Amino acid sequence: MRRPVKAADYLNIISRAVFSAGLSWAFIDERWDAFEAAFDGFDPEKVARYDEDTVRRLADDPRLLRSERKIAATVENAKMLLAIEAEYGSVRRWLDSFTTYADAAKDVGKRFRFLSKTFGAYYFLYITGAKVPDFPTFESWSAQTGEHHPRMRELVASNEGRAVSFGRPTKRAQPSARKPRSRKV
């Protein structure tokens, strides 16, 4: 796996997680080249300047996922990466500033839209190679959070060249809050 070097690499990683959330990662993977082209290679300088018309145009692009909210989040995340670079000198310096995984995950979840403090933060920190002293193994993170994300398991197994296991999920499925539809007879 290639580690990110420039800000566009970081925005690419964040955006892939954002657009994949709630969907099949394979669905997004199949279209990722189109995303990269449509989002100017995820160059944060360019993406941060997208206006509402550009967001709507991208949402109407049949090659992409038609979610104005996720597209707008990508614009905001580009702005955040630029702010981090201005404050720390680089995204890597920001990542290297954390002394605990909990602090890193909390800050990632706070700064970036649609990147959760659980899976989103773990994915981002793992893929970017963040050197957080107490960075948990996938199995440890999974046990702590109750998350057993198959994509993350595949990435860890592939990148680390090892079998990745986890026990039974600790989170129980929650009943739907939606009202059941009535059946017409």
- Whether 180 has a pLDDT exceeding 60, the answer reads no
pLDDT value, residue 57:
97
Helix 68-88 × helix 52-59 angle, to 10°: 130
Cβ atoms of residues 20 and 114 within 8 Å: no
Return the top range by mean pLDDT from 17-26, 46-55, 138-147: 46-55
Q: Which of 23-32, 48-57, 117-126, 143-152 has the highest mean pLDDT?
A: 48-57
Residue 171 has pLDDT above 50, yes or no: no
**Size (the chain), residues:** 185
Higher pLDDT, 145 or 165: 145
43-47, 48-52, 142-146: range with lowest mean pLDDT: 142-146
* pLDDT band, very low/low/confident/very high, at 166 (cuts 50, 70, 90): low
> Above 80 in pLDDT, residue 185?
no
Spatial CA neighbour of 126 closest among 113, 99, 108, 143 = 108
Q: Across the chain, what does the average pLDDT equal?
A: 89
* Domain extent for 27: 7-136
Residue 174 in domain: no
Residue-wise pLDDT for 113-128, tens only, equals 999 889 999 999 999 9
pLDDT confidence tier of residue 22, bands split at 50, 70 and 90: confident
For the chain, the domain total comes to 1
The region, left, alpha or beta by phi > 0 then psi within -120 to 50, assigned to residue 151 is alpha
CATH number of the CATH domain containing 47:
1.10.340.30
Q: Would you say residue 151 lies in a domain?
A: no
- CA separation for the pair 73, 113 (Å, rounded): 5
Q: Determine, yes or no, domain membership for 92.
A: yes
Q: Give a yes or no: residue 45 inside a domain.
A: yes
Residue 25, classed as helix, strand or coil, is: helix
Q: Looking at the domain assignment, is residue 53 inside a domain?
A: yes
Residue 59 counted as domain residue: yes
Rounded to two decimals, what is the model's pTM?
0.85
Structure tokens at 159: 């990148």
* Residue carrying the six token digits 């605990």: 100
**pLDDT per position as a tens digit, 52-81:** 999 999 999 999 988 999 999 999 999 999
Whether residue 42 is contained in a domain is answered as: yes
- Please report whether residue 101 resides in a domain: yes
Given a contact cutoff of 8 angstroms between Cβ atoms, the answer to whether 113 and 84 are in contact is: no
